[in-house]
Amino acid sequence: MNIMTMTLPDSATARRAMIDSQLRTSGVNEEYVLARMLAVPREDFLPAEKSALAYIDRAVMMGAGGHLGAPLFYGKLLTEAAPGSDDRVLVVEGGTGYLAQLLRPLVADVATATAADAAAGEAPAGSYSLILVDGAIEQLPEALTALLAEDGRIVSGLLLRQVTRLASGRKVGGRIALQPVEDMGIPVLHAFDAPKGWSFA
């Protein structure tokens, strides 16, 4: 109990510093984003040996291709997504469950899929108004496009010419065009790698 009493303030202080020094200074000021990122301890989504890295300003990589993205990535992703209380959301996971936990109080429903399942067309069936991808993808499979409702939104990282960018798009006429929003460091989800010689258009 004494250990808990000592560690909880440290975690809360680290989250407050993350808000003030990483998010607000980079233009992330939406109160719903800051409130969720202040409420959810990042260290809970890391193995114990990496918990000390929870609040650094870059991604924390884990085994088997998993990652916890940089705080700024999640702040910008949620800001761009502007989730609403009636949204049904599919989260393509980066391997920790952190993004889904940030979202749950903000939307009507959250379903999750691993990157491998989503890329293979094995995500939970449904019609989603919002898809969020916890990482950068090189191509957007038709199977994932099919899960997004007409006029639905997708926000993802995008790997384009070896540079990762935050990107967003909307489904119109059954098609989605991901448009880059901002260059930033985002872990790549290799399950979405394009075949050799393919380029994102």
Contacts of 53 (CB under 8 A, 6+ apart): 46, 60
pLDDT-derived band at 199 (thresholds 50, 70, 90) equals: low
Q: What is the pLDDT of residue 117?
A: 96
User: What pTM was estimated for this model as a whole?
Assistant: 0.91
pLDDT in tens, 45-63: 999 999 999 999 999 999 8
Place domain 2-192 in its CATH homologous superfamily.
Vaccinia Virus protein VP39 (3.40.50.150)
Q: What is the pLDDT of residue 198?
A: 52
Half-sphere CA count of 2, side-chain side, radius 13 A? 0
pLDDT-derived band at 194 (thresholds 50, 70, 90) equals: confident
In whole angstroms, give the CA distance from residue 70 to residue 73.
Answer: 5
DSSP 8-class letter at 122: -
Identify the CA nearest to 55 among candidates 67, 38, 42: 42
Identify the CA nearest to 103 among candidates 122, 126, 131, 125: 131
Please spell the DSSP secondary structure of 63-114, one letter per residue: GGG-EE--HHHHHHHHHHH---TT-EEEEE--SSSHHHHHHGGGSSEEEEE-
3-state helix, strand, coil in the chain (%, to 5): 40, 25, 30
- Return the residue matching tokens 């399942």: 117
The rounded mean pLDDT for the chain is: 92
pLDDT in tens, 95-144: 999 999 999 999 999 999 999 999 999 999 999 999 999 999 999 999 99
CB atoms within 10 A of CB 176: 19
Helices 2-18/31-39 angle, 10° precision: 150
pLDDT-derived band at 200 (thresholds 50, 70, 90) equals: low
Q: What is the pLDDT of residue 197?
A: 60
- In degrees, rounded to 5, the angle at the alpha carbon of residue 41 between the alpha carbons of residues 35 and 46 is 145
The CA distances from residue 16 to 35, 74, 98, in Å, are 10, 15, 17
Q: What is the pLDDT of residue 1?
A: 39
